[in-house]
Amino acid sequence: MVVGSYTDEVTYTFPAARLWKASCDMHNLLPKAVPEFITSIEVLEGNGGVGTVKKFNFSEAVKDFSYMKDRIDVLNDESYEFKYTVTEGGIVGLIVKWYSFYMKLEPTGDGSCVGKVKVEYETLDGELTHDQIAKMKEGNEGMVKAVQAYLQANPDVYV
């Protein structure tokens, strides 16, 4: 088992405050933004704050797994930062023992923002390959693009 991490930076074409509101409502937003991959998200425990546990249910388009559970570890409305840990399902049990996703949104002053991302993980066996990390990044980038497209198509939501 190897503990590792990678970082990424994503530019969003929306103000940090709007994207933050959308991020805090992902259990409602993602099934609308990516219905071809996520059929529903159930809140299993909590009220949406730290400690909340959610279950993401995936469509048949996701071949390797049918669900994933995560727990919110950090949720800071003032600094626009959140962290969640995937505890079950998804790639947990396939290639990692656990992984966490941390993001902090930083306003850029031009009506957009930058998301600074850090993903930490513990593998089941050895190092993650370049292709496995690229696939994890690709999944995150796909969701980012879908959320941006949804917000562009629906300018009156999360304002």
Give residue-wise pLDDT tens across range 75-95: 999 999 999 999 999 999 999
Instruction: Return the C-alpha torsion angle 34, 99, 77, 32, nearest 10.
Output: 10
Q: Please, what is the average pLDDT of the chain? A: 94
Residue corresponding to tokens 């290639």: 95
| pLDDT at site 76 | 97
Q: Which domains does the chain have, with CATH numbers?
A: 3-153 (3.30.530.20)
Residue at token pair 């593998």: 123
Q: What pTM, to 2 d.p., does this model score?
A: 0.90
Here the tokens at position 62 are 């996701």
In this prediction, residues 124-153 reach a mean pLDDT of: 91
